[in-house]
Structure 1
Amino acid sequence: MSKDTWRAWLSEHALPLWSGIGFDAGRRLFHERLTFDRQPIPLPALRLMVQARQVSTYCRAQLDGFGSTADQALTCLHEVQNRYWHADDAAGWIFSLGPDGRPADRRRDLYAHAFILFAYGWAYRVSNDPTYLKVARETALEIDQIFQTDRGGYLDTVPPADTIHRQNPHMHLLEAYLVLFDVSGDPFYLDYAQRLVTLALEHFILPGTGMLLEFLDSAWEPLQAAGHNRVEPGHLFEWSWLFSEFARLAPNAPNMEAVRLARGRLAEAALAHGVDPETLVVCDAMTEHGKRLEDSTRIWPQTEFIRVLALQAREGDPRADDFIARQSRCFFEKYAPARLSGGWIDRLDVHGMPLSDHMPASSLYHIYGGATAILSR
């Protein structure tokens, strides 16, 4: 499967679909879901996270040479800022917006805040408008104000739904801070990134392994007894990629040796225990001992695997090009067949049958990252 196949699919099908039918011009917001017949699905609320992911992707697409895709994204971001930020006169961004333009869910969600930061980083890169950095700085300070705990790290939501700490929002917060540092050169963001890298090395990753836990208790210890903790191979690939980015941006960081070691171990553990050796399909979840918890497969772990493979190909791994070709064929045959014309099936069961009845916009962020990693290798 050639680079031309990926570029054509993005430029001729996926990007036009989700900025055309996938955009509500009246509300100036992206739709969250389309049917398999490419029709918008009305929802009672639109989540901040999805809007932010789409904005960042279309800003990136213009920078990557896919045409003038940023104007619509920045128009959306302006609407998002007006509707979601301080929408109830309190610090931070609301979780979701109702059809009437008023807050539907006023929770503060760390995952959503991470993605709005990510969007502002890419908005600044494509526009060079310092206003975007100003909002990002204010949002970063509000994240500390709203979510910070006295044991390090952050709460997942405010008000909190439980006492569990989840690695996932911290991972995406790291991603956002790395992008903001990359586009601005402001050490403010690198300091935040360093703290999150340290948190991951000290608490998320089991010592001497490449197994990174999804859930931890209030003291940042494994939530379940040994052998019963959830690990997601897709997130192992994502963290491996982010550690590579951290190493690129902060090569003299004090814990760089540990970062480089963890980067390799995470990818190796995911490949050894979370990837089918015959099909190369990445499973959804396993335990920290490598036992499968779920045999279903979602689209996003496949693209995170592809992104790491593209990096490994650039670094001379002799297996990588073959793995990329096989994974690409799998992507277009199973998850994004031609009949969907730029859409996708989000989740498949063990027999390869769809487990979802719609196409979620949120997948584009993952797909775009994997595709452009191939295109740039």
Structure 2
Amino acid sequence: MNATPSLAPDDAASAAASIAASVAALRAHYDAAVLPLWRGPGWNAAMQLPCEALGGADRQPLPASRYRAMACARQLYVFSQGPGAGDAAHAGQLFDSLRRHFADAARGGFVYSIDAQGKPLDTTKDLYTHAFVVFACAAYAERTGSAAARTLLEDTTQLIEARFATAHGLYHAALAEDFSPAATPAQNPIMHLTEAYLAAHALTGDSFYATRLQALATAVLGAFVDPATGCIAELPLAPGVAGAVAPADNRVEPGHQFEWFSLLASAPALFGGSALAQSLARAFDFALAHGVDLETMGVAAALHLDGAPRDATQRIWAQTEFARALAVRGDAAALAHLRAWLRAFPARFLHAGGWHECLAPDGTVARAEMPSTTPYHLATAYQALAESCG
């Protein structure tokens, strides 16, 4: 096998400078074109909540039918990362709104959504939402020192462990309003809980999070990983785990392989050398080989477990997770792909007014509206790019 050729020192310096300049341009677009949307037309001042989505062409709010707690929490994270004092103040409004609109004062936890008038709409208690509450509170507490955010983070963690945990070391994806099980384990909310607990551990230093994360990695490996490829399937594969399905009924999302890879690589003290981290190195290669069009650097939405195409739509979040994983991996081959991605992504997905949410493989816009949840993906990817390559 031929090793990837290394660059001469001058060429390597030039490549690094090119990557850094491209990353800076992405961040400049984010600061000038993306963030202002959610303090301007995307902000419902009466409700003190972000609109669910803006039109891709006119940047005006789409008709409101609901507001989700998860969307509010993601925006809380985004503005907790914002560079200006005004961003921190806006994060404070979002933190207050999260508690005021979505907290279930009678039963505990958070409802999934409210309607356009602020009344409870979907009272499901889903793990995805609660994970983002923990994640966002960690970011807000780090930015502001808010004792209330730390308390909410700790209370929500306790609720997750008391209510959502299953016998297999996993978590129910959703519970009914009264906390009875409503959905069996799924990888995506567990992945975001992993992200949330990593942020909580970084903020608090509490050994609980380290212990739980390591145990969760073992549980995910046993329940979701396809031994043939190392990929984490969307639904459980292991017989006996609630919600397990046959391989033909399951799927692999390349974006999630890249996202999982980045999360575990970000915490080598917890996951370095673990069986799940080793598996995800294989999953990275599988997702790259079967889920990425190297001509456009576009990442497909989903594959069958054998790598055959299942959904060729290219969603923007999967593109950003690919870039983050390339930067985190950081070897010569990954950086060559990253340079190609940095040339292709802005031309295909970004525009002066924001972004395209989904493209077809030929570049046709498949979904033009701009959801309030997407800036979170841009923020986490751009931060990783700046830290690794800036």
TM-score, L = length of structure 2: 0.87
Identify if the C-alpha distance between structure 1 residues 226 and 348 changes in structure 2 by more than 3 Å, giving closer, same or farther: same
Residue 170 (1) aligns with residue 190 (2): yes
Q: State whether residues 313 and 361 of structure 2, in contact with CA within 8 Å, keep that contact through their aligned partners in structure 1.
A: yes
2:284 corresponds to: 267
Is 1:335 equivalent to 2:349 in the alignment? yes
Corresponding residue SS for 1:104: strand
How many residue pairs were aligned?
363
- Tell me which residue corresponds to 2:362: 351
**C-alpha distance in structure 1 between counterparts of 2:168 and 2:381, whole Å:** 34
Q: Does 1:247 align with 2:256?
A: no
Instruction: Return 222-231 or 30-39, whichever deviates more.
Output: 222-231
Tell me whether 1:58 sits opposite 2:79 in the alignment.
Answer: yes
The 3-state SS of whatever aligns with 2:267 is helix
Over 3 Å counting, the alpha-carbon distance change for 1:150 and 1:334 in structure 2 is: same
Q: Cα 1:373–1:193, aligned 2, differ >3 Å: closer, same or farther?
A: same
SS where residue 319 of structure 1 aligns? helix
Residue 246 of structure 2 is aligned to residue 225 of structure 1: yes
Match of 1:126 among 140, 143, 147: 143
- Counterpart position of 1:74: 92
Does structure 2 retain, via aligned residues, the 8 Å contact 1:228–1:288?
no
Task: Report the Cα distance in structure 1 between the residues aligned to 2:207 and 2:184, rounded to whole angstroms.
Answer: 30
Q: Identity of paired residues, percent?
A: 33
- Alpha-carbon displacement from aligned partner over 1:288-346 (angstroms, at most 9, x marks no partner): 21111111111111000000111123xxx1123332232123221121123xx2x2111
Structure 2 residue aligned with 1:216, among 236, 250, 261? 236
Aligned to 1:149, the other structure's residue is in SS state coil
The answer to whether structure 1 residue 155 and structure 2 residue 172 are counterparts is yes
What is the identity, as a one-letter code, of the residue corresponding to 2:240?
Answer: A
Q: Which runs of 5+ in 2 are unaligned?
A: 1-20
Give me the whole-angstrom Cα distance separating, in 2, the residues matched to 1:208 and 1:293: 18
Which residue does 1:12 correspond to in 2? 32
Any idea what the Cα deviations from partners look like across 1:160-183, whole Å, max 9, x if unmatched?
Answer: 786543110000001000000001
Deviates more, 1:345-354 or 1:161-170: 161-170
Q: What secondary structure, in the 3-state scheme, does the structure 2 residue paired with 1:301 have?
A: helix
Residue 235 (structure 1) aligned with residue 259 (structure 2): no
> Which deviates more from structure 2 when the two are superposed, residues 161-170 or residues 16-25?
161-170
Deviation at 1:276, TM superposition (A): 1.4
Rounded Cα–Cα distance in structure 1 between residues aligned with 2:251 and 2:137: 32
Q: Secondary structure at the match of 1:293?
A: strand
Match of 1:325 among 339, 351, 363: 339
How far apart are the structure 1 equivalents of 2:242 and 2:175?
A: 21
User: Does the C-alpha gap of structure 1 residues 111 and 222 become closer, same or farther in structure 2, counting only changes over 3 Å?
Assistant: closer
For residues 21-53 of structure 1, the C-alpha deviation after alignment (integer angstroms, 9 at most, x for no partner) is 221222211111001211012322101111111
CA distance in 1, matches of 2:379, 2:23: 13
What are the within-5 Å matches in structure 2 for residues 106-145 of structure 1?
A: 106-145=123-162
2:70 maps to which of 46, 49, 57:
49
SS of corresponding position for 2:222: helix
SS class of match (1:300): helix
Aligned partner letter, 1:247 = P
Q: Once the two structures are superposed, what CA deviation does each residue of 1:183-208 show, in whole Å capped at 9, x if it has no partner?
A: 11111222222232121122111225
Letter in 1 for 2:369: H
Distance 1:271 1:126 in 2: 35
Find the aligned partners of 1:257 and 1:174 in 2 and give their Cα distance: 15
Deviation at 1:281, TM superposition (A): 1.1
